[in-house]
Amino acid sequence: MTEGPTSAPVTPREAGLEIAAGQVTPPAELLNLIEVRDGAFGSRGSGDTSGFGGLVQPVVMPGPTPPPYGGWFDDLAGELELALADHGLPMRSAVESVVVDRGEITFYVRREHLLIFATVLRDEPALRFEMCMGVSGVHYPLEAGRELHAVYNFQSITHNRRVRVEVAAPDADPHVPSITSVYPTNDWHERETYDFFGLIFDGHPALTRILMPDDWPGHPQRKDYPLGGIPVEYKGAKVPPPDLRREYS
Amino acid sequence: MATDAFAGSFDTRTGTIYNVSGGDWDTISPAADGQKEQIVVNMGPQHPSTHGVLRLILQLEGETVVEARCGIGYLHTGIEKNLEFRNWTQGVTFVTRMDYLSPFFNETAYCLGVEKLLGITDQIPERAQVIRVMMMELNRISSHLVALATGGMELGALTAMIFGFRERELVLDIFEMVTGLRMNSAYVRPGGVAQDITDDQVLRIKETLPLLRSRLKDTTDLLVDNPIWMARTSGVGYLDLAGCMSLGMTGPVLRSTGLPHDLRKAQPYSGYDTYDFDVVTVDTADCYGRFLIRVGEMKQSLRIVEQCLERLDKPGPVMIQDAKIGWPAQLSVGSDGQGNSPEHINHIMAQSMEALIHHFKLVTEGFRVPTGQVYSAVESPRGELGVHVVSDGGTRPYRVHYRDPSFTNLQATAAMCEGSMISDVVAAVASIDPVMGGVDR
């Protein structure tokens, strides 16, 4: 399922995104390309008699949603636009795209504007997202130039709302501004994301590893992190790492 | 200064460093020229009062804590990474082991996320939801009992510990009866729960509740008006609302500031809006207030469990009807232990090849979950337990991240402890009630 570390990155265009995205073709660079699947049953190394062997399917995350977003999402977007404008920042330059999926709204924010975006979320009375529920990293190795994502969930107790903010950074320059100055709770969360993904949060007071040992090499939650097998004390046998085991999907 | 082979000293830019390997402080360090002397003490990771493998790095001036920092990671097991190599159903077996004192919350939060991704949230059978709620509320009681027990032990109230753990066994016996395991049950599954609960079991839970109720009273009576307990916890570990907000505190710590924020009321899931219960708050913002909240919440949980038991009189399915998601078989206990029911084995082995193929595909490969990401949150005994689930459309999670309340709340250690006595650190950490399995995952 997971692409091995040796496979070359495929650009969204090479993966045939235009076909997959359907009638409204969103800009390819805004989509999260996860994987390009071929065949239907994941069989490898033997002849495929199913007739599906030639199938090539790009796997993408849900694409941008055009406004109106429905429900209170539109109020939220409107308030955000006004509040950002107060800071001299047009919504269009701060937010790459908005995705409404499964009743949740996600703002894809350009990383250079994350700090101001978070400040607005917290301080604007109409928004009032008092709490940040931390940051979670996601690694999309195939999304060229946007491999590392930091996903923030905010909660407003005043308005009883939740919103998700996602920023992306390229693997070659894994820097994202820290929002600990706005939400101190993100101190440990950002350290955790750094620990596991190698995302560097600029402005964090002490960005060190938190769960892995200090001298641990690499960032284990990345998709290209090599997995170890388990040596068995029987004639040098070894349980292979999970990505090399027999699988049924 | 005396030069001692066993207790040498040397000067550095920041002051004199003493290496002590024996002897008496007075002979080693003759009052360092009127300076206030600070020492750094490692408390833990192996220490009976740190609530698990938590390492506290305390900078002390006498017995006053100048700086307090936490060292965590000693229980990191890479569960989130492991999840990415197992199918969606197997994931439950991993997440239940995170916060080992509240397994049903871990399982339910994960399953709610998966169900949201699948778009089947409103297809979960009524009975399955009632069972989930009942197990979660029983779990809240058992978890709070451990919080009182270990908290009491850490402050020297050993009777509270014995009582707390004894009462917890009553709840764990129920878990064992229903799921087969005292802890780490992997009972809540995407689509419902693993196994139906029988009338006989419902009856036995009903019989246990009065005993549990009276025992809870005994246990909490030990501490509620206990002057020693109050002296150790009142006004200790203070954290006000602004501190809680900025540090992302949830659960009893947040409610001890007087804010009645509870996800079961604010953003109901699993039908919590149909149950009758109160959100317990106090306004003292200290350890004693958090203790009172836990006591109150256990009573409220009992109320919810009683309402669940009434609803369990009505039979019904406990797994989603969609055969592409719901596990094909019910388990049963045979002469050779627990396994698939004989009827199901007979069906797939003797009657229907398609059923056998379906069983095999669903069990080995698992179901596919459409691409996307969701965040689902439940109110665990320690606060908001949030799960960020990402699917790549495959049979395995692409990424699962747990926002564990223990992890987040533990950050408040410094804010609660600095400036207080070292003995108050123990009380403050106990009032946060961190479970290191959840912190380190």
pLDDT in tens, B400-429: 999 999 999 999 999 998 889 988 998 999
Which residues in chain A (24-43) have CB-CB distances under 8 A to chain B?
A: 34-35
A153, A157, A183 ranked by CB distance to B386: nearest = A153
- Chain B residues in contact with A187 by the CB 8 A cut-off are 411
Instruction: List strands edge to edge, sheet with A161-169.
Output: A95-101, A104-109, A161-169, A148-156, A131-139
Cα–Cα distance for residue pair B66/B16, rounded to 1 Å:
19
Report the mean per-residue pLDDT for chain A.
80
Q: Are strands A95-101 and A148-156 parallel, antiparallel or unpaired?
A: unpaired
Helices (H), B99-180: 103-118, 126-154, 158-179
Q: Interhelix angle for B199-224 vs B287-311, to 10°?
A: 160
Burial of B387 (0-12, 13-18, 19+ CB in 10 A): buried
Q: What is the pLDDT of residue B252?
A: 93
Residue A168 contacts residue A143 (beta carbons within 8 Å): yes
- CB-based contact, B403 to chain A, within 8 Å: yes
- Chain B residues in contact with A189 by the CB 8 A cut-off are 403, 408
Question: Given an 8 Å threshold on Cβ–Cβ distance, is B408 in contact with A188?
Answer: yes
Residue B28 has pLDDT above 70, yes or no: no
Residue B7 has pLDDT above 70, yes or no: no
- Chain A residues in contact with B383 by the CB 8 A cut-off are none
* Confidence band for B116, pLDDT divided at 50, 70 and 90: very high
Question: Given an 8 Å threshold on Cβ–Cβ distance, is A104 in contact with B375?
Answer: yes
Name the residue with tokens 């990401």.
B373
B344: closest CA among B325, B89, B364, B352? B352
Q: What is the pLDDT of residue B27?
A: 61
Q: Are strands B64-71 and B15-18 parallel, antiparallel or unpaired?
A: unpaired
* Confidence band for B46, pLDDT divided at 50, 70 and 90: confident
B386: closest CA among B90, B1, B116? B116
- CB-based contact, A16 to chain B, within 8 Å: no
Q: What is the pLDDT of residue B279?
A: 92
What pLDDT digit, counting tens, does each position of B248-300 carry? 999 999 999 999 999 999 999 999 999 999 999 999 999 999 999 999 999 99
Residue B130 has pLDDT above 90, yes or no: yes
Q: What is the pLDDT of residue A94?
A: 87
- CB-based contact, B396 to chain A, within 8 Å: yes
Q: What is the pLDDT of residue A17?
A: 39
Distance from chain centroid for Cα A224: 15
B247, B392, B393 ranked by CB distance to A184: nearest = B247
What pLDDT digit, counting tens, does each position of B227-260 carry? 889 898 998 989 999 999 999 999 999 999 999 9
Residue B248 contacts residue A185 (beta carbons within 8 Å): yes
B72, B267, B396 ranked by CB distance to A160: nearest = B267
A153, A196, A243 ranked by CB distance to B388: nearest = A153
Cα–Cα distance for residue pair B251/B382, rounded to 1 Å:
5
Report the mean per-residue pLDDT for chain B.
87
B267, B366, B403 ranked by CB distance to A249: nearest = B366
Cα–Cα distance for residue pair A114/A130, rounded to 1 Å:
16
Cis before A58? omega within 30: no
Q: Are strands A161-169 and A104-109 parallel, antiparallel or unpaired?
A: parallel
Question: Given an 8 Å threshold on Cβ–Cβ distance, is B401 in contact with A136?
Answer: yes
Cα–Cα distance for residue pair B396/B415, rounded to 1 Å:
40
Cα–Cα distance for residue pair B436/B415, rounded to 1 Å:
19
Q: What is the pLDDT of residue B401?
A: 94
Burial of B66 (0-12, 13-18, 19+ CB in 10 A): middle
A62, A155, A184 ranked by CB distance to B371: nearest = A62
Distance from CA of B441 to the nearest CA of A (A): 9
The answer to pTM > 0.90 is no
Question: Given an 8 Å threshold on Cβ–Cβ distance, is B441 in contact with A157?
Answer: no
Residues of chain A with pLDDT > 90, as a percent, come to 32
Cα–Cα distance for residue pair B403/B410, rounded to 1 Å:
13
Cα–Cα distance for residue pair B40/B22, rounded to 1 Å:
18
Residue A22 has pLDDT above 60, yes or no: no
Which residues in chain B (359-388) have CB-CB distances under 8 A to chain A?
A: 361, 364-366, 371-375, 377, 384, 386, 388
Which residues in chain B (57-76) have CB-CB distances under 8 A to chain A?
A: 72-73, 76
- Chain B residues in contact with A192 by the CB 8 A cut-off are 407
Question: Given an 8 Å threshold on Cβ–Cβ distance, is A185 in contact with B246?
Answer: yes
Strand pairing partners for A107? Answer: A98, A165
- CB-based contact, A157 to chain B, within 8 Å: yes
Residue A138 contacts residue B391 (beta carbons within 8 Å): no
Phi, then psi, of B273 in degrees rounded to 5: -70, -15
Beta carbons within 8 Å of A203's beta carbon, 6+ residues apart: A115, A177, A178, A180, A181
